[in-house]
Structure formats: C-alpha cells, structure tokens
Amino acid sequence: MFATLFSIAMRGVQLGTYEKNISYALGLFSGFIQIQAPGFQDNPSLHKSIRIDSTLAKTLNTTPEITGWAPRIYADGLVSFRNNSLGAALFGIDPDRERTVSSLQEKIRKGRFLLTDTTSDVVLGHTLMENLKAGIGDTLVILGQGYDGTLGNALFRIVGTIRTGSPEFDGMGIFLGLSRLGSLLEMGQRIHVVAVSLSSVYDVETVTAHLLTSLDTSSVNVLPWQKVMPDLKQGIDLDNISGMIFLGILIVVVAFGILNTVLMSVTERFREFGVLLSLGMPQTTLVIIVFLETVIITMIGIVVGNILAAGVNYYLIVHPIEFGGDYAAMMEQYGWLPSIHSSLKLSSFFNTSISIVVIALLSTIYPLYRTYKLEPLKGIRYT
C-alpha cells in the first residue's frame, strides 16, 4: 500500500510539474506547434517565408484542439539610440492574435504592450533598454535589411519594456507590430512563423499529424514544440530519467520488503503446513493457497494505495506547493514556475500498479519454493 502510494504520488508530482512548466514555457512565446517554411528552423533566413492562404486559415480555425494562432515575422536588425547602437532580434506580432497564443502581455515590466499591428510603438527587452540607456517614451532608430535587399530604417517610440526570463529575449528582443515590421522589411503578405496554441500539451502529436495531412508539406513545415525548443525537451528528458532511476530504486526496496514479509509469513507457519501435509494435503494445493494469499494481500494494498495516492495528487492539483523568496525569483527568471504540481494521469496509476504486481509476484517465487520443498516431518518439528 505504501509502495503504491509513494510511487504514484511521486510520479504524479513529476508529470504534473512537467505539464505545467511545459505549458508555461510554450505559452510564453513559442506556442505548442509552429508552422514555418521548410528549413527555417535549422537555418533562419528572411527569405524563407510563407503566406497564410485560405486552406491554412481554414484548417487552423476549424481544428477543435487549437485555441489560437498568431502570425509572426522574425528578423535581425540594428537599433540605435543617441550614441548607442546594438544588434537586435526583431519580432513582428499581431497583438490581438498574440493574446490567444502567448503571455507576453503579462511580462510587461514597465509601460504597456503594443495596441495594434500598424503602430510605430515598440516594446524592448529590459536588458536591451538598459544597455541602450533609453527609457519609456524615447525614440530610437531601427535599421534592417529588407526582403528585396534594400536597407530600411524608421523611427519608433518605446512604450514598454518586457522581462521574459529568457536572456535572448531580454537582451536582444524588440517587439513590433506585424504590419509595421512587414512594411519596413518589404515583406508584403509574407510571414515566417505561425505559432499555434492548444488546449492541452497532450494534444500536440494529434494536431501535428492532422496539420501534416491537411496542409501542403512541400511549402510549409509543421513542427511540434519538441523540435522548436529542443533544449527544453532535453532538460525534461534528463530530469525524467533521474526520476525513473529513483522510482526504480524505490521499487527494488519494495521488492525486498515484500519478499521479507511473505517469507516470514510462510516460515512462521511451517508447523501448520507440516500438519496439513501429514494429514494428506497435496503439496501443490498448499503452494496455491500461499500464492492466492499473497495475490489477495497485494491487490488490497494496491487498491488502497491507489485511492490514497489519488487523494494526495488531487490535493496537490488544487493546492500546489508554492515557493517564495529568492528561490522563486530565480526560477521565474529562468522561465520556470516556482511551484510543485501534480497530475491524475491514468498512466501513472496503471504503470505503477502493474509494476508493484509484477514485483510482488516475483517476490513470492522463493517463499513458494520453500513451501513446495517442505517435508511434513520437518515442518512439524520446525521452530
């Protein structure tokens, strides 16, 4: 019972915290799925662009798992304020659509977010604005190479500063209106990325497969978050492996505990077994009785453990453990939620229960062997 409780609770905390942090990280900017031009992810280029045609728009609007989508333009540029000039990453976004995909508006540190996609306002990463020695309301110049090869430049007014926790965004990111940046770079109706938001991270594979069959994959590429953010995927995989190793160690400890319990139960009843055998009970019948006792006790423990684990996991879902102080600030700075959550995903209950059943059955092999080899006279004389 305790083995099932601890194993399911630990696995639930692991999966629940992963799910919340993945959703949080993907909702920050990248989206659960991205639609790009072929080759853009490996080697971004201004000319690797796509257009939102009627088929793409209809597919995105009619897929029930999709909660929002937002077109974007990615480009490099040079930003200047007075005597300071720095390289910058330019992100053209549609503020209205971006609200359905990302939480950028919630990361505003000072000022406000963009209001329209045609405005000449910009929002800067807080580190970039500090390095430029600029402030809210200042006007800066952005210079970038256009789609046609010409150099475009324009004046923009800083209306806000953003802190995402990502050193790249905060140190180089400039968020502009989609149409305004497209006009500066002579992009026309071209964009680079469509970020897609889903109702659940578990829908990523299904929706990705649906988009791949619905769209022309020769002109667009559909990438799940694992390919868009491989570093996040690798970090979670590494932590998941360490968690599985710890769970394996726990199950091994549990196996020895079950073996000791069953063996002691059998050994303490050797005199009783000896009497039964001397009265004519077949050896195999005695083995079956011991086996059924173990199975019944195991099933009772697993059922009770599942019920208790469900209660613990549900409590942590409703009342997650929140961190505070410097530790919480550090986690938020690196884009992680300062809290521990849990999950009621059925796979954690099923897989853990099956593992405990298998371990319990394997642990009965030696006690059953001792019972099978027991002789009536030795059993009666056993002390």
pLDDT digits (tens, 9 = 90+) for 337-370: 778 888 888 888 998 889 888 888 888 888 888 8
CA distance 283 to 289: 10
Collapse the DSSP code of 57 into the 3-class scheme (helix H, G, I; strand E, B; otherwise coil) and give the result: helix
Query: Hunting for tokens 């492996």 — which residue is that?
Result: 241
Measured distance CA(166)–CA(168) in Å, rounded: 5
CA distance 124 to 135: 10
Quote the pLDDT of residue 59.
92
Note the pLDDT of residue 129: 92
Question: pLDDT tens digits, residue range 317-335?
Answer: 998 888 877 766 666 666 6
Does residue 152 sit in the same domain as residue 202? yes
129 and 195 part of one domain: yes
Residues 245 and 376 in one domain: yes
Q: Please check whether residue 370 lies inside any domain of the structure.
A: yes
More confident residue, 196 or 18: 196
The answer to the question of residue 20 being in a domain is no
Please give the biggest Cα pair distance in the chain: 103
Domain boundary among 162, 188, 219: 219
Q: Do 372 and 342 share a domain, yes or no?
A: yes
Domain boundary pick from 196, 219, 242:
219
Question: Among 110, 105, 120, which Cα is nearest to 161's?
Answer: 110
Domain range holding 187?
38-219
Please state the domain count of the chain.
2
Confidence check: pLDDT of 383 > 60: no
Q: What is the mean pLDDT of residues 139-145?
A: 91
Q: Tell me, what's the pLDDT at 373?
A: 84
Residues 275 and 364 in one domain: yes
Tell me: do 79 and 124 sit in the same domain.
yes
Question: What pLDDT, in 10s, does the model give residues 241-264?
Answer: 887 888 788 878 888 888 888 888
- Give the residue-averaged pLDDT of 194-204: 90
What pLDDT, on the 0 to 100 scale, is given for residue 265?
82
Return the ∠ at Cα 81 (arms to 75 and 84), rounded to 5°. Answer: 95
CA–CA gap between residue 168 and residue 177 (Å, rounded): 20
Q: Tell whether 49 and 164 lie within a shared domain.
A: yes
pLDDT given at position 194: 93
Q: Is the pLDDT of residue 117 over 60?
A: yes
348 and 300, same structural domain? Answer: yes
Residue 320 within a domain: yes
Statement: residue 282 has pLDDT above 90 = no
